[in-house]
Structure 1
Amino acid sequence: MPHLSSGQDHPQPSSGGTNRPHQVISSLFTSNPKLAQPHAKPLPKATSKPSNAPLDSSTFSGLGLSPLLVAHLESKMNILKPTSIQRAVLPALLTPSFPSDSESTTQALRDVFIQSQTGSGKTLSFLLPIIQDLLPLSSLSWIDRSVGTLAIIIAPTRELAKQISDVLETLLKMRLRSSESNPNDDDNDGDQGQDTVSTTPRMTRWLVSGLLTGGSTRTHEKARLRKGLPILVSTPGRLLDHLQHTSSFNVGKCRWLVLDEADRLMELGFEETITGILRALEGRRGLAVQAVKEGKSTEVVGMGGWNWEERRRTILCSATIREDVRKLAGVALVDPLVIKATESDSPTLANPSASSDLVPGTSTEKFTPPSQLSQKFVVVPLKLRLVALLALLRSLISQAQSQSQLRAGRGCKVIVFLSCTDSVDFHWKLFGGAGMGGDAEGDDAGAQSKGEVGEEGEGDPKEEEEVGEKVEVKSPLLPDTSIFRLHGSLPLQIRLASLRAFSSVPSSKPSKSNPKVTPTSACSILLCTSVASRGLDLPLVRAVIQYDLPTEGGATEYVHRVGRTARVGKGGEAWSFVGPSEEGWVPWVEGRMRGEAGGMGNAPAEKADGEGKEIKIEGVDVEKVLREGFGGKGKEYEERATEVQLAFERWVLKGKENAELARKAFTSHMRAYATHPSDEKHIFHIRHLHLGHLAKSFALRDAPSNFSGNHNNKGKKLPSGTKSKSHLSQSKSQFSSKVKAGLRTRKKVRDDSDDSGDPEAERRMKAAVRSQGRLLKKGGVMMSSGTDEFQIAGGSALEKLVNGR
């Protein structure tokens, strides 16, 4: 092997006198250009993460969230770890800064269908990706609020829209520069400090959120839209109204569209509204793109301009995948990813093109409440409903006051669901006005007027005049407790004030330095309809009471209601009041939550996901509830409950307004009860109710006249297999309609005849009434009405018979 030399090129002599071929060897270290010597600098530690290392899904940083957002969540919002649904959604929605190939880019820009339990943190799962996507635009000098609306979030109710808006505003208050940008300044807040060399670009605070809901003036909303709202939260009707009538509403560059609580959107009949919104967004975008191509737009085109090739991403959130939700997903989503999170903290990601999740009629719905939730039911006789509700409230408040949560300033909050708005108003005024001692406390019994209604300055002037309307009442029967109400018929400002006051943490007592501070009660009760069952994140809710079971939505609505407590891993209680004729509801709803097709609880019980528990609702004796609520020895609680009932009845009898309010609440409750769907009629039917006993639960001593008479006997069931019940109902309906026609005929005869006492006309009328009376039977036997036929011929007596009086 030839010897390698570092000298000049020359032939190497051979040993042994033998001449070998001439070889030229080039030196590696000669004739090289001079290079600048690098400065001696130690290598930084952990400059980057391994590209093939698995993600740490237990932290927000490991999921790829921006350090600015992570620091804000930890320091300002005290959120340290992501929930199960957030671990599943964030990797799919967070757009990578430098995708490795076109396939990853397409994967990152797909639409998403999010399904998870209530109270699992869905709001942050779509707000965080939206902010992270728009945050880099803050470093562009030509980006400001005039760019228009880039993200739209649609919520079904005003309360949920306001709640999302509040969370969004909190997130947008984050620092725009991390503390690592100035290592020499330990107290750097991101906005102060000397001009130092920083690797992070300066960002402008242009991201502003807006809220569009019915109740605010359109003029004020149009002014804000004209100025620019990059992120917008709105209800469907208000959004479509501005898309159709506000020309300055710039949505041509919209990058995100979120449909939150899609199942509730469909229940409230927003299908056509959502379709109109989708068409309007596509139309506005098409016009903007056409204007840019034709050079009629002032937008920046070319390098550094807006990327018009990037499509809008749509996110649909729903707790259930029902038929109507699948239909909406087919219209709004393009090639979506279906993301679910189970109780076992193992999120799943499915592609609907390879699964049947979004194919109509191919999946069995299984919708369960949180596993840590304690579910209980009480079978309550109808006449004891009102006192049993008060006893349960007193018991829950007493338990909370004996525990450490009140001493820690956390308070005790209870939500009571009722069937209709009139019932909410009645119970709210009843608890606030009735008292012990023989007389009602009056309208000023502990009632407070909230002056903060409309304090944001964005309400309608007409509604701001209602500042004096009461938001909070107190009852001597529920000491140290504030009572609020919430339903869809209240003015928007009153609704928001009630939610704000109910959600507030108990305040301290007035001090000498600040005597104007009004102490907030340690416990709060919210009387509401199903308007508060979806999406609302009300903190520190100890228990949910379903005083009236859901009239629509079945097991799904039940789970949504009880989901207001036991949120994000915390505990809670759910109580349901069940009537004697409604005991079949318990196995029915248990079967539905287990995913059984029949929903009647006949199939073997399945285990809840990840917990190994049966979905079971525990029964509690009503006597135990009354005894714990009213106390006493032996049967003393019965006497105390009677005194409370008499106090409520005295309040109703105190004035005509109170009595009318009670009768109106009773009537509205009956109408709501009759709206149960056909597959629940075997459990909820008006003929199973004893209306006289039910009237006692509205502090009425008798049922209203329009529900008295024949209906009062409906509590007595006929033997099973008797066919006369349906025949009797049909015959009575035919009899009423035909007799009413006879009344109109009699009136016409009198009007057409000169002599109103024509004996021939009277004879024909009597014969017609007698012939129709043969249709009225009871138990297959002709029934006598006990009324003389000549009395029937009289108009007033006949009308009484028709009306059942």
Structure 2
Amino acid sequence: MNKYNLLMLWAVQFILHFSHDAPFYVETCYFKNDQRCPACIRTFILKFGFGRTPEVGTYRHRDGQRGPDRPFIKTSSLFRNNPDVPDIHSPAVTQVKEKVFTSIDLDFCLSSLMHFLLRCYKSICPIYVYFVSVQRQTIPVLMAGKDAVVRSQTGSGKTLAYGVPVVQSLQAADPKIKRSDGPLAVIMVPTRELAKQTFEIFQKLLKPFTWIVPGVLMGGEKRKAEKARLRKGINILISTPGRLVDHIKNTLSIAFSAVRWLILDEADRILDLGFEKDLTVILNAINANGPSRQNVLLSATLTEGLSRLASISMKDPVSIQVSEIPEESRATLSKITVAKAEDGQQADSFAVPENLQQHAVVVPSKLRLVCLAAFILSKCKFDKGQKLIVFVSSCEVVEFLCTLFTTVLCGQRDASTTLKHHSALNFLRLHGNMKQEERMDVFQEFSHCRSGVLICTDVAARGLDLPQVTWIVQYNPPCSVAEYVHRVGRTARIGTRGCSLLFLTPSEVAYMDVLASHSISLSEMKMETLLSVLMKDERFKGRGKWNNKSAQALEQELRERATVLQSDFENVVHASEDSVQTAKKALQSFLRAYTTYPSSAKHIFHIRSLHLGHAAKSFGLRDAPQGLVTKATKRPGAKDKTKNKEKRYSEQFAYFFFVHSSCEYLKEQENHRTPVTTSRSR
């Protein structure tokens, strides 16, 4: 074979690699069966499938039986082309400690509230011998008639810290209050679920005092029924800001002339959700007719906006902060504050529950979905009695993950597996786009179940007391350290134990330093530890037979099982066009949420640091959907060139062979031409 034929062979290999249209052009070339075409090229063309549709083969099921012909699907490997996973070196910090329980001293026992407090605790909390620290410090201040700004770790009992003084003051009022007096206490909360929970707590507190009527107003309920309750009379009004503003503008029977208490629970979250204008309307309505009142602001974190609100609506408030910052943390905090003052950032130390074990795992983007599924299997299927809350960034991601995990992980491959594992793997969803009735049903079901997984957005990150939650999984990192604190606060509440797990990609490891600067320390959990549970589940067994139990063989088998699980996810996603579109919408919403991180965190969470193909893999998509990159990053005409690249290669390939065959034909004609002699005539 000469050099020219080798060049032709290389051209065929090149076109086969880059073009799916090459078989069509070769099939139509007249020289395909021509003997003058080099034999090596003819053999190569016939061997590698010219003349039939490319990428069609016979699919073999896992049981070894041959199935019907269907397109062969080329997928990328989970464990190739991934960025290196760096080692986590979490700085040594001293976490801010907050004493949850405190003993009852003699002066406090002799107060008139002692009998009332014990009676309330018997109906709400089984641990009524000890008072919570925030209650021990807050109740005397509020009973003295002072305004207060209360900061305490989430899950420390702040609701009772203001609930007990409110009920005590109203039941001791003389003359005795009546239902027709209207609202005497207004309590604002950011979410519907927290409004419902606060209402249930006040119902228990008011069992001895049946003449005091609590009520709740929130979005999703019928306005007509709420107006009827307002006309009858509500003494303790619990509401979300938006619905209360709606009634202020449209309900004539609501009046604030007798309001004595105004309480903003999770006040910073109310401002974060954009209710600042609604709060202004509410404050103006209460100030217009109401007498002087007590104001209470409560939160686990205090922001600049909250301080501004306190200065506007409160008079000489008492600041109550239960956490105790160690001396070394104070020194570190002061240095950070000075260093960040020029950037306008505010460093702060946050108190998290002392019994909370915090972990972080670094996972490449392609392996995120498999690792999350493996972690859920380990805690809910093989370790009974675990309740998990998984926080994600958007409503679309909640819907996608809940549907996908229910289909794949609940063992619907055969009926026996479904019946066996259905009770252990119970997936629920909660986000802001759900109907009110559905949200309440999910809230109640997850509160009363023994084991389950709640996939939700930050709508469940504030104030909710979901009993017996053992693990908090932050699949998408929060936008701020304050949000991190509120998320992990759904577990390890009131002295119980709990754990949290934060998912990070290799490009996001610097977030650990940000948490450390706020006195939050996390321990590393290895990705291999999460995936090891797949060795217990025979549903994800690969085709290989690994009799050798060496470390290398076990690692290879683990990778095969993870690949099988990922293939199951991808098969479910690509089973229909609707499921593909659902996955694409979830990916797009994830990317949109990724662009909303504050500027101070852009060096960690930047959209350009994401590999779109790897991110698509974590949503069960085999290829990155087109159109996710902004058009501004493309050159004019680049899209058309990319679209027509394969066609241009195929046309060049056909033209190349046409020129070759034409030259050979002319050369042959020249060799077989007979010379013609002519005589010159004189």
Structure 1 residue aligned with 2:113: 65
What does 1:5-44 correspond to in 2, within 5 Å? Answer: none
Is the 1:435–1:477 Cα contact (8 Å) retained in structure 2? no
Structure 2 residue aligned with 1:273: 278
C-alpha distance after superposition, 1:736-759 (max 9, x if no partner):
6xx6xxxxxxxxxxxxxxxxxxxx
What is the number of equivalent residue pairs in this alignment?
510
Structure 2 residue aligned with 1:746: none
Task: Report the alpha carbon displacement of residue 654 of structure 1 after superposing the two structures with TM.
Answer: 1.5
Distance 1:499 1:229, change over 3 A: same
Distance 1:682 1:93, change over 3 A: same
Structure 2 residue aligned with 1:397: 380
Is the 1:60–1:82 Cα contact (8 Å) retained in structure 2? no
Task: Report the alpha carbon displacement of residue 250 of structure 1 after superposing the two structures with TM.
Answer: 2.6
Distance 1:70 1:316, change over 3 A: same
What does 1:208-219 correspond to in 2, within 5 Å? Answer: 208-219=213-224
Query: Which has more helix, going by share of residues?
Result: 2
Task: Report the alpha carbon displacement of residue 637 of structure 1 after superposing the two structures with TM.
Answer: 2.5
Is the 1:435–1:475 Cα contact (8 Å) retained in structure 2? no
C-alpha distance after superposition, 1:442-464 (max 9, x if no partner):
xx999xxxxxxxxxxxxxxxxxx
1:163 equivalent to 2:197? Answer yes
2-side partners of 1:483 and 1:569: how far apart?
27
Structure 1 residue aligned with 2:86: none
Structure 2 residue aligned with 1:683: 604
SS in 2 for 1:374: strand
Q: 1:87 aligns with which of 136, 159, 163?
A: 136
Greater relative contact order: 1 or 2 (C-alpha under 8 angstroms, separation 6 or more)?
2
1:250 equivalent to 2:255? Answer yes
2-side partners of 1:128 and 1:241: how far apart?
29
Is the 1:440–1:647 Cα contact (8 Å) retained in structure 2? no
Letter in 2 for 1:67: H
Query: Which of structures 1 and 2 has the bigger CA Rg?
Result: 1
Structure 2 residue aligned with 1:330: 311
Letter in 1 for 2:131: P
Is the 1:440–1:650 Cα contact (8 Å) retained in structure 2? no
Is the 1:369–1:563 Cα contact (8 Å) retained in structure 2? yes
SS in 2 for 1:480: coil
What does 1:791-802 correspond to in 2, within 5 Å? Answer: none
Task: Report the alpha carbon displacement of residue 704 of structure 1 after superposing the two structures with TM.
Answer: 1.1
Task: Report the alpha carbon displacement of residue 691 of structure 1 after superposing the two structures with TM.
Answer: 1.5
Identity %: 41
Letter in 1 for 2:365: L
1:540 equivalent to 2:464? Answer no
Structure 2 residue aligned with 1:388: 371
What does 1:371-386 correspond to in 2, within 5 Å? Answer: 371-386=354-369
What does 1:121-270 correspond to in 2, within 5 Å? Answer: 121-137=157-173, 140=175, 143-174=177-208, 205-270=210-275
2-side partners of 1:787 and 1:650: how far apart?
29
SS in 1 for 2:187: strand
Structure 1 residue aligned with 2:454: 526
Structure 1 residue aligned with 2:621: 700
Letter in 2 for 1:645: Q
Distance 1:272 1:495, change over 3 A: same
Task: Report the alpha carbon displacement of residue 123 of structure 1 after superposing the two structures with TM.
Answer: 0.5
Task: Report the alpha carbon displacement of residue 266 of structure 1 after superposing the two structures with TM.
Answer: 1.0
Task: Report the alpha carbon displacement of residue 581 of structure 1 after superposing the two structures with TM.
Answer: 1.2
2-side partners of 1:253 and 1:532: how far apart?
33
Is the 1:424–1:485 Cα contact (8 Å) retained in structure 2? yes
Task: Report the alpha carbon displacement of residue 218 of structure 1 after superposing the two structures with TM.
Answer: 1.5
2-side partners of 1:373 and 1:77: how far apart?
20
2-side partners of 1:586 and 1:156: how far apart?
29
1:114 equivalent to 2:114? Answer no
2-side partners of 1:422 and 1:365: how far apart?
33
Task: Report the alpha carbon displacement of residue 249 of structure 1 after superposing the two structures with TM.
Answer: 1.1
2-side partners of 1:252 and 1:531: how far apart?
33
Structure 2 residue aligned with 1:317: 298
SS in 1 for 2:282: helix
SS in 2 for 1:705: coil
C-alpha distance after superposition, 1:337-387 (max 9, x if no partner):
111112699xxxxxxxxxx9xxxx898522132232111111111111111
Structure 1 residue aligned with 2:632: 733
Distance 1:623 1:476, change over 3 A: farther
Structure 1 residue aligned with 2:25: none
Distance 1:476 1:487, change over 3 A: farther
Is the 1:391–1:630 Cα contact (8 Å) retained in structure 2? no
Structure 1 residue aligned with 2:424: 480
Is the 1:544–1:575 Cα contact (8 Å) retained in structure 2? yes
Distance 1:484 1:60, change over 3 A: farther
2-side partners of 1:646 and 1:436: how far apart?
16
Structure 1: gaps of 5 or more residues = 1-54, 95-107, 177-204, 286-307, 346-355, 402-410, 447-473, 507-521, 595-614, 712-728, 740-768, 777-783, 792-805
Structure 1 residue aligned with 2:566: 645
Letter in 1 for 2:203: E
Letter in 1 for 2:437: Q
Distance 1:489 1:119, change over 3 A: same
Is the 2:199–2:214 Cα contact (8 Å) retained in structure 1? yes
Is the 1:415–1:541 Cα contact (8 Å) retained in structure 2? yes
Structure 2 residue aligned with 1:293: none
Moved more, 128-137 or 684-693: 684-693
1-side partners of 2:580 and 2:106: how far apart?
58
SS in 1 for 2:426: strand
Distance 1:58 1:488, change over 3 A: farther
Structure 2 residue aligned with 1:418: 392
2-side partners of 1:629 and 1:63: how far apart?
58
Letter in 1 for 2:238: V
Letter in 1 for 2:196: K
Letter in 2 for 1:135: Q
What does 1:595-606 correspond to in 2, within 5 Å? Answer: none
Is the 2:491–2:497 Cα contact (8 Å) retained in structure 1? yes
TM-score, with length taken from structure 2: 0.70
Letter in 1 for 2:356: L
Structure 2: gaps of 5 or more residues = 1-102, 327-336, 338-343, 538-548, 649-682
TM-score, with length taken from structure 1: 0.59
What does 1:366-765 correspond to in 2, within 5 Å? Answer: 366-397=349-380, 400-401=383-384, 411-434=385-408, 480-504=424-448, 506=449, 522-550=450-478, 552=479, 554-591=480-517, 593-594=518-519, 615-631=520-536, 634-635=554-555, 636-707=557-628, 733=632
Distance 1:421 1:440, change over 3 A: farther
Task: Report the alpha carbon displacement of residue 117 of structure 1 after superposing the two structures with TM.
Answer: 0.8
SS in 2 for 1:415: strand
Is the 1:116–1:342 Cα contact (8 Å) retained in structure 2? yes
1-side partners of 2:408 and 2:106: how far apart?
52
2-side partners of 1:220 and 1:561: how far apart?
33
2-side partners of 1:76 and 1:219: how far apart?
32
Letter in 2 for 1:259: L
1-side partners of 2:264 and 2:399: how far apart?
31
Q: CA RMSD in A?
A: 3.0
C-alpha distance after superposition, 1:491-513 (max 9, x if no partner):
01111110100010x4xxxxxxx
Task: Report the alpha carbon displacement of residue 396 of structure 1 after superposing the two structures with TM.
Answer: 2.1
1-side partners of 2:600 and 2:416: how far apart?
44
SS in 2 for 1:113: strand
C-alpha distance after superposition, 1:658-709 (max 9, x if no partner):
11111111111111111111111111112211211211111111111223xx
Is the 2:356–2:492 Cα contact (8 Å) retained in structure 1? yes
Is the 2:380–2:452 Cα contact (8 Å) retained in structure 1? no
